[in-house]
Amino acid sequence: MQDAAGRTPLLVKIAPDLPDDEIAAIAQMAVETGLSGIIVTNTTISRDGLITDPTVVEAAGEGGLSGAPLKARALEVLRLVRATVPAAFTVIAVGGVETAQDVRERLDAGADLVQGYTAFLYRGPFWARQINRGLLALTAGAARA
């Protein structure tokens, strides 16, 4: 697989719906096979905790959910993966990232990079600027403390 990619970094994106032992095994396999990193996480097929009327959810059809429904589990999976792989192995966090605090939590949990998607779609192109300004404020507040 890595041979076919040549010098192009090859990463795997992991599903949050898997049991923890399978997630750890996949993370270890990614390291052992020489992948460049792992993306934590893909969308979820879980419908737990949704506040939308179930008939509306059912009418929308099956498929993965992103954003807020994914937030807590994505952070759990990130911590599990980071504890499984070597420190030098690239880990990209994604899932439920909406605020600068969300980004800070993921960096603190060991993410090398943080990806935003759903919040960007809903908040528009200035969302990234809000995140960066929020991170600067968090950093400045921590420096004063």
pLDDT in tens, 106-145: 999 999 999 888 778 778 888 888 888 998 888 877 666 6
Query: Per DSSP, what are the bridge partners of residue 93?
Result: 40, 114
Asked if residue 92 lies in contact with residue 39, where contact means CB atoms within 8 angstroms, the answer is yes
pTM above 0.85, yes or no: no
Please tell me the distance from the alpha carbon of residue 5 to that of residue 98, in angstroms, as a whole number: 32
Q: What is the CATH number of domain 2-144?
A: 3.20.20.70
Contact criterion met (CB below 8 Å) for 109 and 102? no
Q: What's the pLDDT tens digit per position in 2-29? A: 677 678 899 999 989 899 999 999 999 9
Give the total residue count for the chain: 145
- Residue 115 near residue 92 (C-beta atoms within 8 A): yes
Phi, psi of 71 (to 5 degrees): -55, -55
pLDDT on residue 68? 67
Q: Which two structure tokens, joined as six digits, stand for 118? A: 């759903």
Return d(Cα 94, Cα 46) in angstroms, integer. 16
